[in-house]
Amino acid sequence: MTFIDVTIPIRDGMPVYDRNPPVRLRRARAIADGDVVNISEIDMGTHTGTHVDAPVHFIEGAPGMESVPLDALCGPAVVVDGTSISGDSIGESDLDAIDIPAGAERVLLKTRNSELWSQKEFTRDFLRLDGSGARFVVARGIRTIGIDYLSIGDHEAHRELLGAGVVPVEGLDLRKIEPGSYTFVCLPLDLVGSDGAPARAILID
């Protein structure tokens, strides 16, 4: 088996979504300063890097991260080639055209977004689902939908997905991943009541 890390490393000053808290990673205690250990502290938002959204992210009063089922995030998955999708959104017709296998429960969209990880600053010029694309995902029985930048979709798409119990995984690094079938393992932090949580995500080939 080959284990492939598709997580965006968390680092000080990394790109984050517009108006999200910046990442600050620094030493709180340091051997170089006379302490017996090195201990770091980190400040960041819950939607930093590779992360999972909880229903309360867009639905007031909905459950937090503790409600997200881990079995939706672990198991057979398909990476689908969406690099041919143009425009600024991914709709029903776009998803229908890229031949998502019937019965796929975990779908990871590799799009032109993957190239954006080489940029040092956040950009809004990325592909995301619109409402029709989200409804397609729900209608197909997809439990988990992932994408290769910091947001799975617009406001309507988020509400459609989260309201239907679909788990969005955002911020995947699929630059070196060939489309095809894998085993997906994604474990978000269990942040009780939170609207999202950073995660470590891997593909097993």
Residue 57: active-site member: yes
| Inter-residue contact 51 to 196 (CB < 8 Å) | yes
What is the phi/psi pair of residue 22, to 5°? -70, 160
Bridge partners (DSSP) listed for residue 43: 24
**H or E element in which residue 162 lies:** helix 155-163
* Pair of tokens at residue 184: 């997906």
Phi, psi of 124 (to 5 degrees): -90, 0
Q: Pick the closest to residue 140 from 88, 95, 183 (CA basis).
A: 95
- Rounded CA gap, 44 and 21, in Å? 6
Could you say which of 51, 57, 155, 158 is catalytic?
57
Two tokens at 82? 């969406």
Q: Which residue in the block uniquely carries the two structure tokens 């060939």? A: 178
Q: Which residues are catalytic?
A: 57
